[in-house]
Amino acid sequence: MADNRDIDAQRDELAVLRDRVRCEVVLEREGYRLDRAATAQRSAKNLKFRRGEGEIIIVNHGGKGWWDPTNPDRSARGDVFKLVQHLKPGLNLGHVRRELRNLIGLEPSYEVRERTKPAQAGQVTKRDPAWMWEHRNPPQSGSAAWRYLSEDRGLPDRVLEAAVKQNLLREGPKGTAWFAHHDNQGSLSGMEMRGPEYRGFSTGGIGKRLFRFEANPGTQPSRIVVAEAAIDALSFAAMDRFSSNTLYLSTAGGMSPESVRELKQLLAATAKQPEGRLVIAVDNDQQGDHYAAMFSEMAQEVGLWNGRASPKSPGSDWNQVLRARGNKESVTPRPFRELAGSATSTTPIPQVAAGWVDDLKVRKRHQSEQVPMAAQATSSVRRSGSPSMGGR
């Protein structure tokens, strides 16, 4: 179908797509993965991606450019538009624009492609996340990883015990804690790894999907809290006064197209639940602003009520809030509305508290005191398909 927009509008869209869609994201969607030998060069000018044998693409110019070293005359190079046409030669510019619109703002996951020798009969690769998971024990009280999470990160024992019971934690080398990522079918896909001396994601397997901590295991959640890291998700859960039927998620930072698809499926299922809602528990920084906008748009697409909760202090995350509070075993932690504030000092984005949806009694009490809470609540929440603060 012909594009009837004026020339200026089309040019503006081309500029936006060229600026906001990274070549790495396009490659990952088409099955390319970062070459293992290049993992130490993430800050280098050239990143090597592979798919199968002999398929190599080099990404340069900060994700804005690429070239194919296997091309004899080195003519296969250019911007993100030419990359899509290189991978799918039959597409014209209009088709390419439609493909790229769905990738605006996505961050590459930088999942690593493992190049292994053919396994002998009965041999299991020790880089396989499932093998690694089965050959490690959960952390327990007094172990190095437990002390790191409890003493250094301030996570309450009750939260750690619940995570262990849900088979979400393993103890790696040197006190490193492993946090399980699963796909929507329940298969282990990889692990977030955090410790005193290491931070990263496991290699091998299918890579990042979602870390999932359930407040009520085995029940369909009516409330989702999504954070940027597993430790932040558990920190939020530790302070959350409204945790009933809540699923706490971590994306482990940048999301792959597969992770985005699975999160959208969860949001769509939650939108069908009574009082279904999404809490976007991201950091108070520019990256948090980016994720908040992306997650909010996903929720709006499926009609899910959503709002953002970020710490008051610029640059802070929810684990820093938990550690600053101390007294982590408090039975009645302070309401999140006392902790949540502006997104950044330069880009104020409406913030909400974790319990704003359910706190109907508090609102009625304030209304009786003639405090215009309804107006304040309306200005502090982004909504999609929700006629009122108190539910639907």
Query: Which residues are within 8 A (CB) of 243 and not within 5 positions of it... i.e. 6 or more apart?
Result: 215, 237
pTM of the predicted model as reported, rounded to 2 decimal places: 0.64
The string of pLDDT tens digits covering residues 108-137 is 877 776 555 555 544 456 568 889 999 999
Q: At 149, is the secondary structure helix, strand, or coil? A: helix
Segment 178-194 shows an average pLDDT of: 94
Contacts within 8 Å (CB) and 24+ apart, 316-319? 316/283, 316/284, 317/228, 317/229, 317/232, 317/235, 317/283, 317/284, 318/227, 318/232, 318/235, 318/236, 318/239, 318/281, 318/283, 319/153, 319/154, 319/229, 319/231, 319/232, 319/235
The overall average pLDDT reported for the chain is 80
pLDDT band at 270 (very low <50, low <70, confident <90, very high): very high
The residue count for the chain: 392
Q: What local confidence, expressed as pLDDT, does residue 389 receive?
A: 30
Q: What local confidence, expressed as pLDDT, does residue 40 receive?
A: 54
Q: What local confidence, expressed as pLDDT, does residue 126 receive?
A: 58
Report how far apart the first and last C-alpha atoms of the chain are (Å, whole number).
Answer: 39
Query: Which residues are within 8 A (CB) of 322 and not within 5 positions of it... i.e. 6 or more apart?
Result: 153, 154, 155, 235, 238, 239, 328
Q: What local confidence, expressed as pLDDT, does residue 22 receive?
A: 92
Segment 263-268 shows an average pLDDT of: 97
Neighbours of 89 (CB within 10 A): 7
Q: What local confidence, expressed as pLDDT, does residue 214 receive?
A: 96
What percentage of the chain has pLDDT greater than the value 70?
75
Q: What local confidence, expressed as pLDDT, does residue 96 receive?
A: 92
Lowest-confidence region among 4-18, 29-43, 70-84: 29-43
pLDDT greater at residue 379 or residue 46 = 46
Q: How many helices (H) and strands (E) does the chain have?
A: 13, 15
Strand partners, 311: 340
In whole angstroms, how far apart are CA 365 and each of 175, 242, 244, 351, 357? 48, 19, 23, 22, 15
Q: Report the C-alpha gap between 170 and 161 in whole angstroms.
A: 12
Q: What local confidence, expressed as pLDDT, does residue 241 receive?
A: 86
Q: What local confidence, expressed as pLDDT, does residue 360 receive?
A: 36
The string of pLDDT tens digits covering residues 211-263 is 999 999 989 999 999 999 999 999 999 999 888 899 999 999 888 778 889 99
Q: At 174, is the secondary structure helix, strand, or coil? A: helix
Q: What local confidence, expressed as pLDDT, does residue 336 receive?
A: 41
The string of pLDDT tens digits covering residues 147-174 is 999 999 999 999 999 999 999 999 999 8
pLDDT band at 353 (very low <50, low <70, confident <90, very high): very low
pLDDT greater at residue 140 or residue 345 = 140
CB 224 within 8 A of CB 267: yes
Q: Report the C-alpha gap between 38 and 110 in whole angstroms.
A: 10
Lowest-confidence region among 37-51, 76-90, 247-261, 273-287: 37-51
Q: Report the C-alpha gap between 7 and 157 in whole angstroms.
A: 60
Q: What local confidence, expressed as pLDDT, does residue 328 receive?
A: 47
Does residue 287 surpass a pLDDT of 80? yes
Lowest-confidence region among 64-68, 141-145, 196-200, 280-284: 196-200
pLDDT greater at residue 335 or residue 5 = 5
What domains are there in the chain, each with its CATH number?
A: 7-113 (3.90.580), 130-379 (3.40.1360.10)
The token pair that represents 329 in the structure block: 């075993």
Buried b or exposed e, range 224-241, using 16+ CB within 10 angstroms: bbbbbbbbbbbbbbbbbe
What percentage of the chain has pLDDT greater than the value 90?
49
